[in-house]
Amino acid sequence: MNRSSLYLSGFSLTSSPLPLLTCPALGVPHGFSTRLGGVSEGIFATLDLGAEAGPFGTGASGVSQHVLLNRRRFAEALGFPANRLICAKQVHGREILSVSLDGAGKIRAVRVGDSPGVFFRGDSVCEESALNGGGGQNLPSDSPVSGCGGRGLPSNSPLSESGGRNLPSDSPLSESGGDCPPSGGESGAGFVCDGFVSATPGLLLAVKTADCVPILFSDRAAGVVGAAHAGWRGTVAGVAASCLAAMVSLGARPERTVAAIGPCIHPCCYEVDDPFVAAVSASSFSSLCLPHILRTGAGRYTADLPAMNRSILLACGLREENLFTSGFCTGSSCALFFSHRATGGKRGLMMAGIGRL
Ligand SMILES: [Zn+2]
């Protein structure tokens, strides 16, 4: 029995051939890995999909044989050959690459939607929210961060029909650099970005996390999928909006798109400080993110990254019924997931992957 038994907020934990968390509403092959089912050892045990360095050190080509074997298991569990698993050196930004296959079957990537401001003018959202009297929902009235948070959504949809016209023109990307060879094992090729979109069958788009927020997207009618890595910097920079914008550029529609926010650190384990709050306040998406910071004491707060991403995606036109959030906190479930915070950085990396077959 491959389908299991545990359903949480639209998610299902499958056990065979590999323990994976899935969100069936996505409707295409996908999975959020756990730390179970791999061959890595020690702090990387067992399904490390990206942290352990190979014999050539960390960086461009440095992933271990264990990681390569684990990646093969992950890809094949989702029905893809290992050489079609695409991931990147992630840089906590908001750049999304659109990947496809060229006539010779080589993976090609172009930069799209690297400016969510094209779709979502965060600064004006902030001003509008203030005008609408929106205050932070979760903040005490004396909170230093309550000034700009808002319930009010922008009157103009950030992903309006006209949005797609302003995308930067396709620019060929270097296929060198990055830590994840598209070939799944050969060195020397890779991408630097924080997410992918594609309308091409046969490609498994993956992002790596260990507390950061993995988000998978699917518009089945358009045949477009996406994956985004949203740490706190990427979250407040709007990488989720950027990924959705990139999907729209391939024909997806926000109101039809399903998004699944996978296992990540939740506020129970994510205490932050004044500099964090200041950085969020200065971000493009401050009005949507600040309400999800809760002050717990002098200079102490908790931040809810999945809720921030939910708010951003809803503001971008996703329907609430198409937006799913796993209840799993990586920091609270170290037997099941890798957590950067809970281990002081001594951990492997999980993957969230999605593709069409
Ligand atoms: Zn927790």
Q: Where do the structural domains in the chain lie, given as residue ranges?
A: 6-120+158-266+304-354, 122-157+267-303
Query: Is it the case that residue 323 has pLDDT exceeding 80?
Result: yes
Query: Is it the case that residue 181 has pLDDT exceeding 80?
Result: no
Picking from 109-123, 186-200, 331-345, which range would have the lowest pLDDT averaged per residue? 109-123
Residue pair 291/311 in contact (Cβ under 8 Å)? The answer is yes
Distance, CA 357 to ligand 1 centroid (Å)? 35
Query: Is it the case that residue 286 has pLDDT exceeding 80?
Result: yes
Distance CA 100, CA 142 (A): 50
Distance, CA 191 to ligand 1 centroid (Å)? 31
Distance, CA 269 to ligand 1 centroid (Å)? 4
| Percent of the chain residues topping a pLDDT of 70 | 74
Task: Give the Cβ contact number of residue 121 at 10 Å.
Answer: 16
pLDDT band at 132 (very low <50, low <70, confident <90, very high): very low
Distance CA 118, CA 336 (A): 38
Predicted TM-score (pTM) of this structure: 0.80
Distance CA 220, CA 262 (A): 19
Q: Cα dihedral angle (235, 236, 241, 243), rounded to 10 degrees?
A: -40
Distance, CA 287 to ligand 1 centroid (Å)? 24
Distance, CA 268 to ligand 1 centroid (Å)? 4
Q: How far is CA 16 from CA 49, 69, 82, 143, in A?
A: 18, 17, 18, 48
Task: Please tell me the CATH code under which domain 6-120+158-266+304-354 is placed.
Answer: 3.60.140.10
Q: Give the pair of three-digit tokens for residue 16.
A: 């065979």
Distance, CA 297 to ligand 1 centroid (Å)? 19
Q: How far is CA 111 from CA 95, 170, 172, 342, in A?
A: 7, 6, 7, 34
Distance CA 124, CA 198 (A): 30
Looking at residue 112, its pLDDT comes to 83
Distance, CA 138 to ligand 1 centroid (Å)? 18
Distance, CA 303 to ligand 1 centroid (Å)? 11
Q: Give the pair of three-digit tokens for residue 3.
A: 């389908």
Query: Is it the case that residue 266 has pLDDT exceeding 60?
Result: yes
Looking at residue 16, its pLDDT comes to 86
Distance, CA 342 to ligand 1 centroid (Å)? 9
pLDDT band at 157 (very low <50, low <70, confident <90, very high): very low
Distance, CA 89 to ligand 1 centroid (Å)? 26
pLDDT band at 113 (very low <50, low <70, confident <90, very high): low
Distance CA 3, CA 271 (A): 35
Distance, CA 267 to ligand 1 centroid (Å)? 6
Looking at residue 248, its pLDDT comes to 96
Q: Give the pair of three-digit tokens for residue 31.
A: 């999975």
- Please give the backbone phi and psi of residue 38, each rounded to the nearest 5 degrees, phi first: -110, -165
